[in-house]
Structure 1
Amino acid sequence: MRDGVKLHTNIVIPKGLVRAPIVFARTPYSADRAISAAASNRYSVALPAAYAELAAAGYIIAVQDVRGRHRSEGDYVVTRPLVGPLNPTKVDHATDSWDSIEWMVRNVPEANGRVGTMGVSYGGFTTLMSLVDPHPALRAAVPINPYVDGWVGDDWFHNGAYRQSFIDWLHWMTTDKSSRYLLQFDREDVYESWLKAGSVSGMARRLGIDSLPMFRRLVAHPAYDAFWQSQAVDRILAARPLKVPVLHVHSLWDQEDIYGAPAAYAAIEPKDPGNDANSLVIGPWRHGQSSAADGSRLGPIDFDGNSSAWYRRNVLIPFFDQYLKDGGPPAGIAPVTAFETGANVWHRYDRWPMSCASGCPFAARAIYLGADGSLGWTAPKQGGFAEYVSDPARPVTYRQRPILSTFNPRSTWGDWLVDDQRFAETRPDVVTFVSEVLTQDVRLAGQPIAKFFASTSGTDSDWVVKLIDVYPNEHAARPELSGYELPIAMDILRGRYRDDPARPTPIPAGKVVGYTLKLPQVSHRFGKGHRIMVQIQSSWFPLYDRNPQKFVANIFTAQPDDYVRATQRIHFSPRHPSRIELPVIAGP
């Protein structure tokens, strides 16, 4: 690199290739491990599925350990910021990408001088960083499930609520250069471990990671201040010209970075007047499943075929072929390629979202919360509320217990976003609203937005909203799915940030307050005979830290007596029409 540091890079060149393009990935998870899935000199065996298919299609594969990880020299900084106020050095992921590409085009004789960057998760983040000041040889980029904004909706926070599950990742990635996982909780069921620890800082002290630089930065910046805003990759890219064609890859059930890909796509889209250089793929996957060998199902949900292989064959490889190969043919891919769950079909769209408040082919359609747990298409004509008591001593779980730690060898962490939600519906501190049986299909393509009115007896509160597809009570094709409550979009909002994410304020106790929560993107069909359900609760534990429900300066350091019970009310009336604005579109 320009500062003399050497970065360990594996380059796989299939025999006989000449004037071949390079697909380049940068990862903190071991470049050796990324290309050594099996001990073989045959790339079709040794490489993971996506790399093997690209190699077979005539690509050189290059995978690099980012600075300070595994066999690369230098110091590691989690999601290292660009050179500037938060990074006083002369190097960042943009410069390391530029220098690495420069080295490869000069030193790999089999290459044709064209490079495409690609990566998943953190590798998606480094792929986006390669676009900040792109090397002239960089001709295409494929960020897959990228980390984009750690406060709004990716790894660290969601709308101000801290994702405790990633304390595992923090320990794993920052205590040992080779990523040996040494973290041990005191209980197999970490629900009990987190309750016993109290606050997040209490758990950090128990695990011995309270002094780690990244953890200390999290504690110092619980709000969406300049620290987070200046690092938000979508904001960074929105301020720069589009010089390299980009294919953003998004997973509908991404349990880690569900915000990133659509946000990056939206930030760049205004810079693509021809609607042909900034594309989006939306698939029915967990985090990273688009690159895996099998994309035929997620948990109990079947997709009627290998959706991951379909995407790579029909979208990914044609995209790279067009921009990286000598005389590459037009890819013919759509501006947006979206898999519609519930119908298990791929669609070609010219924009995303397909439905929005204005300027789109179809307008959002509201479905309203009502009395006696009803959910319907007409606004309420009378006032009312649904009430529950939220007790921090007995928080609502995000899945059924026992809850294993994220990286427990027996964990099914990757599947939790499709967990049957009947376990939550039975709790007294979860309110449920459900529609009548649908007499026709309802198609969604865009972002549902929860606009609801609530009051609390406390001075702070979290609000979790879930949009759910309820299967028929008798499902003949798949009896095991009879009555299944499949989550379509779920997220959390920390009430103190309702008015300004950068400046938290107490919630006025007992007063009805309006909230807006943008749920994750959906591409889904509620089938005839199904029902639409909405669940609302005030904790989602131990995925997210508990809100004390009494306003404190910093929830990371809340004390035991700060945690109080609160009576919560969800209001619905002509004055307070709580609703979900659904991105409904027409068509078969």
Structure 2
Amino acid sequence: MQQIRAMTKALLLATLALVPAIATGQTPPMAPDTVAEYQRVRPQADYIRREVMIPMRDGVKLFTVIVMRKGTKNGPILLSRTPYDAGKATWRNGSQKIEDILPVMDKEFVNDGYIRVYQDVRGLGKSEGDYVMNRPLRGPLNDTAVDHATDAYDTIDWLVKNVPESNGKVGITGSSYLGFTSLMALIDPHPALKAAVPQSPMVDGWMGDDWFHNGAFRLPGFDYFTDQMARKNDGDVPYGIGDDYDAYLDAGSAGDFARLYGLDAFAVTRKMMEHPSYDSYWQEQAVDKLLGARKLTVPTMLVVGQWDQEDSYGAPAVYRALEPQDTNNDMVSLVIGPWRHSGVNYEARELGQVQVKGDTGLQFRRDYMKPFLDRYLKDGAPQTPTPPVLTYATGADQWQVTPKWPMGTPTPVYLQGSFGLSWSKPDGGSDTYISDPAKPVPFVPRPVHLRENDVWRTWLVHDQRFVESRPDVLTYTSAPLDKPVHIMGAPKVDLWAATSGTDSDWVVKLIDVSPDGSELPIGIEIFRGRYVRSFEKPEALKPGKAENYHWSLPNVNHVFEPGHRLMVQVQSSLFPLYDRNPQTFVPNIFNAKPGDYRKATQTIYHDAAHPSAVWLPVVGE
């Protein structure tokens, strides 16, 4: 018995030695180290953050994040519908402070009782359903029962019924794609939608926003497709880290580039390549046309940057479509600031060589955007009148309020002999240059690195002296100004030109030349020659025939100061921002063959019968 007791005691001691944690209450060494869930929002957080799946009318559920400061009551809801991950947008720095986890532009709102809501659009992020780029409105291009208009309606309906901290009033905002979804919410809007601030919205992808400009295809769009729409191994097109100029040039046509890197596996790429002209595919999804055909019932503030490198066309186009029905001048307003694409939502004290007074992004959000939204969304808020048009005069460096847009009187500045530029009509002459598709004009100095933010965000304000010495760029310059020239509107190109080929691109730049010689672009835009008579039905150009090309530069408010000079540059490529024109007419440039790319002699006229000019919207004298 004594021996048995001794053995039992020894076994017990051994067991205790092997599992000391059990005896002392410590965590066992082999306890699993994973947990089912970790709450990143801690009790000390000054905010509430909810993740919900909101059902749409077809049963698809959309991932939605609701954020508000603790203690919020009767708060208006500010909604953004995004393809860029609502979860990440509402958890930026893993902080317990609401100002840290949300984008900079949200600070003024959540600090004043707003409830901020971000939602993944269907098919992206954590939302269910299928994703279609710029999903068309229900109709000829969309045979389903849902679109961004219905999704916005269903989302707002759920929010006002299920967010007890809200006052039942909703505003919608966002930039770029989020600007597009904001505009789509205005089509058959929910009654609780009381105000909208679409910023740099994607409106017409062919006429002048992300994918084409006047028929010329924008090559950086390929990176957007792979980064956003690849379910696995997303990211940029894998063509390396060298000079992007060489990568695109060596591939051939835009279609050859797409096929080389497997981009034709994306339906969106095939749609672009199958619709190179302005056919019904583009016309029936142009948001300005959709909105212009309806009665606007939601007060809307349209916002764009003067140097928006992606979506300069959309906001002014929607303003043009809606303004005629705004009889009291209080339903739709336009804002143009000294910004890049989406620059309004960040600190905005400078853009490349452009310096402004203070943080113009904050100034706008605090002094104009928030009072506008407060007026319609906050109970008992001051009914602060909204400026019909608010623009920032670069050159003079100040905000200006006007009753309409454009404000200026169209005034031509004419191309002259000896590469002059003046207000007087030309009396004769022309200039020529050789455009070689094998040596296209770069849109920024080489090596070109499109993916670098410092390059992409500022290319529209890059000093243009880097191309002035090229023989395929014509430069026309005025005498120094003896008084200011103030323009408010979109300068209009009126170009008389001929080519020895059967197709051609034309690029025109309006430039402010400082006394120190620096050349600040005020507007740059391209036009694909085959569309001189019809955007829908391209035609081959007749070699040697002078054609009159008309198109617009981006909308601006700018003052050319005394002592400065006006400058206009003309060229036939802007690469690799835009695909190369082969200068031989082919039915579809995406399918151009190497032999189609040929040199052409380009002629720019400036005589009495062909007075090439840029019409400036001049105000005051």
Pairwise same-fold verdict (TM > 0.5):
yes
2:474 paired with 1:431:
yes
For 1:541, which of 575, 590, 594 is the aligned residue?
Answer: 575
CA distance in 1, matches of 2:472, 2:71: 64
1:238 aligns with 2:292: yes
The correspondence for 2:431, drawn from 364, 369, 386, is: 386
Does the CA-based 8 Å contact 2:73-2:113 persist in structure 1? Answer: no
Q: Deviations over 1:530-574 (max 9, x none)?
A: 100000000000000000001001000000000000000100111
Could you report, residue by residue, the CA deviation over 1:201-251 in whole angstroms, capped at 9, with x for unpaired residues?
111122111121111111110000111000000000000001100000010
Q: Is the 8 A contact 1:156 1:166 kept in 2?
A: yes
Aligned to 2:491: 448
Residue 340 (str. 1) matches residue 368 (str. 2): no
- 1 CA distance for matches of 2:181 and 2:528? 29
Alignment of 1:325 onto 2:378: yes
Q: 1:556 aligns with which of 590, 602, 605?
A: 590
1:148 is displaced (CA, Å) by 0.2
Over the matched positions of the two proteins, sequence identity in percent amounts to 50
Q: Paired residue for 1:141?
A: 196
> 1:34 aligned to 2:79?
no
Residues 305-340 of structure 1 show CA distances to partners (whole Å, capped at 9, x for unaligned) of 110000011111000000001122112331011100
Output one character per residue of 1:379-413: Cα deviation in whole Å (capped at 9) or x when no partner. 012x211110000000000010111133x5x6521
Separation of aligned partners in 2, 1:44 and 1:405: 32
Q: In structure 2, what is the Cα distance between the partners aligned to 1:550 and 1:412? A: 31
Equivalent position SS for 2:116: strand
Change (3 A) 1:182 1:541: closer
Q: Select the structure with the greater relative contact order (CA < 8 A; seq sep ≥ 6).
A: 1
Residue 571 (structure 2) pairs with residue 517 (structure 1): no
Deviation of 1:378 after TM superposition, in Å, equals: 0.4
The separation in 2 between residues aligned to 1:333 and 1:238, in whole angstroms, is 21
From 433, 446, 449, the equivalent of 1:401 is 446
- In the alignment, the residues of structure 1 paired with residue 454 and residue 412 of structure 2 have an alpha-carbon distance, to the nearest angstrom, of 37
Q: Which of the residues 550, 554, 561 maps onto 1:527? A: 561
Q: What is the aligned partner in structure 2 of residue 469 from structure 1?
A: 512
Look up the equivalent residue of 1:165 and give its one-letter code.
Answer: P
Query: 1:312 — aligned with what?
Result: 365
For 1:144 and 1:392, the matched residues in 2 are separated by: 36
CA-atom RMSD in angstroms: 1.1
Which of 90, 94, 104 is 2:149 aligned to?
A: 94
Give distance in 1, aligned partners of 2:306 and 2:359.
16
Counterpart in 2 of 1:569? 603
Name the aligned partner's letter for residue 616 of structure 2: L
Give the match for residue 79 of structure 2.
24
1:181 equivalent to 2:235? Answer yes
Unaligned runs of 5+ in 2: 1-55
Q: Deviations over 1:464-519 (max 9, x none)?
A: 0000000112xxxxxxxxx1100001100000001100000011101111111211
Q: Which of the numbers 250, 253, 257 marks the counterpart of 2:304?
A: 250
1:270 aligns with 2:324: yes
Residue type matched to 1:215 in 2? Answer: T
Query: How is 1:106-185 mapped onto 2 (pairs within 5 angstroms)?
Result: 106-176=161-231, 180-185=234-239
More deviation in 110-119 or 410-419? 410-419
Whole-angstrom CA distance in 2 between matches of 1:49 and 1:510 = 54
Residue 82 of structure 1 pairs with residue 125 of structure 2: no
Q: 168-177 or 42-51, which moves further after superposition?
A: 168-177
Instruction: Kindly state the Cα deviation for residue 301 of structure 1 after the two structures are TM-superposed.
Output: 1.4
User: Residue 197 of structure 2 contacts residue 302 of structure 2 at CA under 8 Å; is this kept in 1?
Assistant: yes
1:194 maps to which residue?
248
Q: Which amino acid aligns with 1:374?
A: G
Cα offset, 1:187, TM superposition: 4.6
Contact kept? 1:404, 1:411, Cα under 8 Å: no
- Asked if the contact 1:405–1:411 (Cα under 8 Å) also holds between the matched residues in 2, the reply is no
What letter matches 1:280 in structure 2?
L
Whole-angstrom distance in 1 between the partners of 2:90 and 2:323: 33
Distance in 2 between the 1:69 and 1:12 partners?
Answer: 20
Q: What TM-score results when the alignment is normalised by the length of structure 1?
A: 0.95
User: How many Å separate the matches in 2 of 1:411 and 1:436?
Assistant: 33
Q: Report the CA distance between 1:84 and its aligned residue.
A: 1.4
Q: Distance in 2 between matches of 1:59 and 1:81?
A: 31
Query: Aligned partners of 1:180 and 1:110: how far apart in 2?
Result: 38
Shift of 1:41: 1.9
Residue 270 of structure 1 aligns to a residue in which SS?
A: helix
**Aligned to 1:374, which of 403, 420, 431?**
420
Look at both structures and tell me which one has the larger radius of gyration over its CA atoms: 2
Superposed CA deviations along residues 150-177 of structure 1, whole A, max 9, x for unmatched, are: 0000000000000011111111111127
Instruction: List per-residue Cα deviations over 1:3-41 (Å, max 9, x = no partner).
Output: 111100010011111111000000000101212221112
- Deviations for 1:118-150, whole angstroms, at most 9, x for unmatched residues? 010000000000000100000000000000000
The answer on whether the counterparts of 2:223 and 2:236 sit within 8 Å (CA) in structure 1 is no
Equivalent residue letter for 1:458: G
SS in 2 for 1:583: strand
Establish whether residue 498 from structure 1 lines up as the match of residue 510 from structure 2.
no
Q: Which stretches of structure 1, 4 residues or more, deviate above 4 A after TM superposition?
A: none
SS at match of 2:227: helix
Letter in 1 for 2:359: N
The equivalent residue for 1:299 is 352
What's 1:457 paired with?
500
SS in 1 for 2:288: helix
Q: Which amino acid aligns with 1:396?
A: V
How far off is 1:577 after superposition? Answer: 0.6
Q: Deviations over 1:356-387 (max 9, x none)?
A: xxxxxxx2111000001000000012x21111
Shift of 1:95: 0.4
Q: Is the 8 A contact 2:510 2:523 kept in 1?
A: yes
SS in 2 for 1:425: coil
For residue 302 of structure 1, what is the amino acid of its counterpart? Q
Helix, strand or coil for the counterpart of 2:69?
coil
Matched, 1:287 2:333: no
Q: Check the 8 A contact 1:453/1:514 in 2, yes or no.
A: yes
Q: Residue 119 of structure 2: SS of its match in structure 1?
A: strand
Length-normalised TM-score, structure 2: 0.90
Listed as ranges, the matches of 1:206-217 within 5 Å are: 206-217=260-271
Structure 1 residue aligned with 2:3: none
Check whether the contact 2:81–2:119 (CA below 8 A) recurs between aligned residues.
yes
